[in-house]
Structure 1
Amino acid sequence: MQSFKLVDGDLVLEHGELQMIDGADELAQCVKSALGTNKGEWFMQPELGIKFRAFEGKQWNEEEMREQIRQGLFQETRIQTVDTIHFDYDLPNRAMKVHFTATAKDGATIESEVTRHVG
């Protein structure tokens, strides 16, 4: 599958032309989009995304956060398994990096991360 290349949600232009991505990079971009969307936020697809409230507050429940990440990854039908989910906390900046690896149905390994603001 091929998609427009996005950086921070913006289309990428090089030499006046829209850039495209495919393969594992395109799949990683798709799952990161789901993980960056608050469930119910997009009216055309209200089931897309994860529940951001799982990442709010001062007492985090890692199992609940992990389950939201897992659900977000499996929204992409090309994902076969979620292999790892790891959280790195940056408390002074009230942020958390979520590192994940997943295996696509075609056998490709997807390894990426998303940053969630917490607190």
Structure 2
Amino acid sequence: MKRIMQAMLAIVFALVAVLSLQVGHAYAQDASPQEVEVVYEYDWFTVKADEFKEVNVTQDVPFDIELVDTGDEGSYVFVLGCNVYVLGGHDYIGETCETSSSDIAILNRGPDDVDIHILPQ
């Protein structure tokens, strides 16, 4: 009985140690201002960038692009090779291509958080 309790206690400590490492690793990734990371999950993209990331819209379902600018020069989203959206200087986002290839809505939730909703046509 004592050995079973010791084994269970060892398993609990191992799980706590693994979870602590995972949380620390995720925090280190989020804290890095140079990192560009794309997460594809449940038909939407999350883009966090201080540089630029190309996104090809080939899905038949709506998805979101969340653009978080961590620098002063702005971030860019290229849609189907035509539409370019710029998040510049922490305060605005603008369209730089006239011909639209998708239905696009831009939501600016603050100086560092802009959501771009794209419905492919």
**TM-score (norm. length: structure 1):** 0.28
Larger radius of gyration: 2
**TM-score (norm. length: structure 2):** 0.27
